[in-house]
Amino acid sequence: MAVTKVLARKGRLDVGIHYVLNGDKTNEQILTAYLNCDPGHACRQMLDTKRAMGKTDGVQYYHIIQSFKPGEVTPELALEIAREFAAEHLPGYQAVIGVHVDKEHIHAHTIFNSVNADTGEKYHSNARSYYSQIRAISDRLCREHGLSVIMEGKADKAVSYIEWLRQSRGQPTFRAMLEADLREAIEDANDIGHFFLIMEHKGYEIKHGNRLGFRLRGQDRFMVPGRKNPLFTEDGIRAAIGGNLDAIAAGTRPAIIYRPRYQPYRRHPKYTGFMALYVHYLYLLGKAGQRQYPPRMTPHLRREIMKFESYKEQFAFLRAHGITTAEDLSAVRARAEETLASLTKQRTILNVRKKKRQALYDALADVEALAPAKVCYEKGLSGMEEEFARYMQAVRLLERCGVPSEHLTQEKTEVYNQLAELNRQIRAERKKLALCREIQTASQQMEEDIRKTETRGKEVEHDEHRRR
């Protein structure tokens, strides 16, 4: 299953290409491909095309991302699908493809020139072309290779990939959190003013207009849930609250719904230092994510719900390495930096060794790839002259080196396997360093957030008591 996304970029073309071809993400650029351009010259050739066609302004390139379901596809298959997609959808466009394996889910990045090298036309992207071309071709290729696809009707077109991914994993999303808070506020409210007060206590800013908009303080955009569900329009909210008032008058519902007092977590005796702090913080976020709380969470802490999984990963890292103090964290970080330096040195030595033999390794690949062309040439088939010449050139180079092809093939396999293993270890050590930096930054904010949350709870409890 591939989730596709297309982005129009006006920034520097070389920056985008460098990101796609990053050796740390593409297994030393093994998982890369080119369409209508040459390796090492893609950026220059794309810029030459723009200048030749007189279209150097506006969108510089487009960036298509195909994200595959974890465990469903190999990097080689992802590269093949991306190649087939580019060949079918982008005829005449110069493109660079890179498959990134640095995340849990394998994803293919395709950057292509905004100007067609054959026709001089600029590429245009919109919602219609996305669903009728990009999405349709990607889904068909996934089916042809035995992969699953997103079934129509299961995911709303307005849902972003990140939101869809979090929903599929059962993780909280901003939209789900907002809708749950709205339902709880509607249930508790006695009138529309009381409803707005409850939402403000929950940490939301409210935009009044044709449609009600809500956002947590610190978010960039307002969300308008009434577009999808009429219950969350102002008329729908007023009608629902009117039902509450009827229930209060009938004596079937209390005027103020009692909710159990929020009890902060008490430290577990097994954990101290950083681990105790993380246990407390994860508890607060878990309670918020499950909606088992009165409106007492601070806006910042509520936003942190979205980072719940990363905090669990950090806590697992702390527990695995027995880190409880800042000194322990510094020691683990120092060891990771030392190991990373050693691995990087080993990789450099291997890369130098590979570079010295690269011409021979390329010759081996040419001999293997052009063997069918040699057979066709010897049978008298025309049009194979260039391929046969390349084949003979590779054979002569291998003969001059004096190393048997079997030994050279074994050596090449060992070098590439060692590089792949070193890259895996380097990524692991870099991940450790990143976690150390994240823990150092997060721990400084956690204690303050916990204090603010408890203070906020007392303030809201006081307000509720005063309303009674």
- Residue range 164-174, pLDDT digits in tens: 655 555 555 67
Mind listing the pLDDT tens digit for each residue in 239-279?
Answer: 888 777 777 677 777 766 665 554 544 544 566 677 777 77
Structure-model confidence comparison of residues 153 and 450, the more confident one = 450
Euclidean distance between CA atoms 446 and 344, whole angstroms: 34
Q: Give CATH for domain 2-154.
A: 3.30.930.30
Confidence band, pLDDT 50/70/90 cuts, at residue 294: very low
Domain residue spans in the chain?
2-154, 174-249, 269-468
Average pLDDT over residues 397-402: 86
Euclidean distance between CA atoms 73 and 75, whole angstroms: 7
Strands (E), 159-245: 204-207, 213-216
Confidence band, pLDDT 50/70/90 cuts, at residue 417: confident
- Among the listed residues 108, 127, 124, the one whose alpha carbon sits nearest the alpha carbon of residue 116: 124
Q: Taken in order 281, 284, 288, 289, is the CA torsion positive or negative?
A: positive
Confidence band, pLDDT 50/70/90 cuts, at residue 384: confident
How far is it between the farthest Cα atoms of the chain? 99
Residue 428 has pLDDT above 70, yes or no: yes
Assigned token pair, 204? 């939301």
- Half-sphere exposure at residue 281, Cβ-oriented, CA atoms within 13 angstroms: 29
* DSSP one-letter string for 381-405: -TT-HHHHHHHHHHHHHHHHH---H
Q: What's residue 140's pLDDT?
A: 86
**Is this prediction's pTM over 0.75?**
no
Residue type, 448: E
Euclidean distance between CA atoms 349 and 357, whole angstroms: 13
> Alpha helices of 250-384 — where are they, by DSSP H?
273-289, 299-304, 308-321, 326-378
CB 116 within 8 A of CB 92: yes
Confidence band, pLDDT 50/70/90 cuts, at residue 45: very high
* Rounded percentage of the chain residues whose pLDDT exceeds 90: 17
Euclidean distance between CA atoms 304 and 280, whole angstroms: 14
